[in-house]
Amino acid sequence: MNTRYLTLLAAAMTSLAAMAEKDTPNIVAHIMADSTNSVVQPAELYQRLIYIADDEPSREAAAPASSAGEAATSTSGSHQAGYRVQVFSDNNTRTAKNEARTKARQVSARFPQLSTYVKYTSPYWRLKVGDFRSRQEADEVADQLRKAFPAFSKEIRVVRDRINLSD
């Protein structure tokens, strides 16, 4: 009796699935049809997308280095290529976010003049400090951070990043 029931149930489910496939329009067929497709996009979403697109670095804006040996920098609005001091980087999904924020509070308390940036770039949570135009400035702050926080010293390193201009 159980075998009959299971066989009947399987047959019923198969026929229901076949019916569902017939009644459900195929999205690819709909898009490829001769009809016109239109997308309605709210103005608020459009503004957000434009803001994000403006925030991303432009490939065209990154000009090659000049003949005088100056480094090429990409500028867009209030951002520029520069350096930051990376104080923390971890991919532990349970603890990394809180640890990055805790270290950011500690650094901000000790060095209130420095901006701190806690950012998630999959799979890493990173804490970066400062906005420096030159590597030398970043190295000096990295040394100060190593002296102020010896426990962090193995993780502290200078990294290239897009910085915020404070002019």
Q: Which domains does the chain have, with CATH numbers?
A: 78-164 (3.30.70.1070)
Neighbour-count burial of 112, counting CB atoms closer than 10 A to its CB (0-12 exposed, 13-18 middle, 19+ buried): exposed
- The chain-wide mean pLDDT, for the chain, equals 76
14 confidence band (pLDDT: 50, 70, 90): confident
Whether 69 has a pLDDT exceeding 50, the answer reads no
* Stretch 110-126: mean pLDDT: 93
SS3 68: coil
Whole-angstrom distance, CA of residue 159 vs CA of residue 139: 10
What is the model's pLDDT at position 31?
60
Question: What is the identity of the amino acid at 33?
Answer: A
Whether 162 has a pLDDT exceeding 70, the answer reads yes
Whole-angstrom distance, CA of residue 50 vs CA of residue 70: 31
Name, of 6-15, 60-69, 82-91, the range with top average pLDDT.
Answer: 82-91
Check residues 8 and 56 and name the one with the higher pLDDT.
8
Task: Please provide residue 166's backbone torsions phi and psi, each rounded to the nearest 5 degrees.
Answer: -115, 30
Q: Encoding tokens for residue 80?
A: 């520029």
Pure H helices in 24-164: 27-32, 43-55, 96-110, 135-148
Q: What percent of the chain has pLDDT over 70?
A: 63
